[in-house]
Amino acid sequence: MTTSVGTATTLDCAGLTVLIAGTTAASRRTVRRYSAGGATVRRIATPEQFHPRLLDAVSLAVVVDGPSTDGPFTDGTLIRHDDGGPVSGDSWALLREACRERRILTSSEEPATGGGRVTLIGGGPGVEDLLTVRAKQALREADVVLYDRLGPYRTLAQLAPGAELIDVGKTPGHHPVSQTDIEKLMVAKAREGRHVVRLKGGDPFVFGRGGEEVNTCAAEGIPVTTVPGISSSIAVPAAAGIPVTYRGVAHAFTVISGHQPLTEQELEALVKLGGTIVVLMGIGTLPQLTSGLRRAGLASSVPVAIVEKGYSPDQRTTVTNLGEAVTAAGLARCTSPAVVVIGEVVRQHRDFSSTLEQVLTHPMVAS
């Protein structure tokens, strides 16, 4: 069995019988995790329910509530064995002593946090090891996870063992679950008294509609917290060796959404501001953006990088320039998810100096 008490993410308990002591609400996370690990789970909610015969064939006993004076023991009386021997203090002392006598391993875990709430998590660029410590903790405590394709969903069974996992992801032009329905589902699950985690790629507040979901929860009286994530606008260019700022080259960067074309006024302001332009979800509107930036005065020779599937085994970078970007993206068959970087910082890409000449004659270089 692989476990770390209180912080377990993966359990292999196949063939074991585990007794879990604690109220339904407090022990729900523990029961779910051991069940997902293949254990046969026995449960008791209160010390009064304990009897030594419940330990028959048990390999491990887990006390979730911990030492407590709640319930029928608040009058200061001692708990007694069947033979009349006193055991003082711990409500679960009878269970612990019986386990010691039978040489059954015992452990203690903190109770699950209260249900009926929502946590918005930024999953970063989509790989598990870039999740924050707080994000992993929230996933361990989740009863329900609503996730999309840009978060680290492939290992959710281990990150949120036993939780109900619901795919609400969108792909370009295909939204099987609308944003309104996602919010309704999130609220409905929380109203059932469950801890709902909404797992997104990047950061919830960078084109992630996190603000909308917070407002929906607030309007429905659902407690909601946010765990920030590493924004793909910074992380994905970095994965390709491209800094979004560089001393003497770019002292500012602007992040824009490629979902809708910019207005002429926005394009002109963007060009006047200078620095690096980072475009998220911009493959579909790349022709409008590049032509618009050129109309607004940005030179066709300005370097461009299209970084697809950052941090994945399929990560690929296409280096080109503003005038050739649409052709290069077509020849390379660039697809979402991708981050487009426009500006002189692209020259920091590790292969830029050796590929610049090729770009001008054959506008597609991928790495």
> Are 17 and 39 a contacting pair, CB within 8 Å?
yes
Q: Which of 15, 26, 73, 68 is nearest to 48 (CA)?
A: 73
DSSP 72: G
The Cα–Cα gap between 352 and 137 comes to: 40
Distances (CA, A) of 13 to 2, 24, 59, 103, 277: 8, 21, 10, 18, 50
Q: Which of 163, 209, 202, 151 is nearest to 182 (CA)?
A: 209
Q: How many CA atoms lie within 13 A of 188 on its CB side?
A: 7
> Are 314 and 286 a contacting pair, CB within 8 Å?
no
Residues identified as active-site: 148, 170, 281
Cis previous bond, 172, omega within 30: no
The Cα–Cα gap between 106 and 99 comes to: 7
The Cα–Cα gap between 35 and 163 comes to: 11
CB under 8 Å to 104, separation ≥6 — which residues? 55, 58, 59, 60, 61, 98
The Cα–Cα gap between 30 and 92 comes to: 17
CB under 8 Å to 4, separation ≥6 — which residues? none
Helix 286-295 vs helix 264-273: angle between axes, to the nearest 10 degrees?
70
> Are 142 and 160 a contacting pair, CB within 8 Å?
yes
The Cα–Cα gap between 144 and 198 comes to: 8
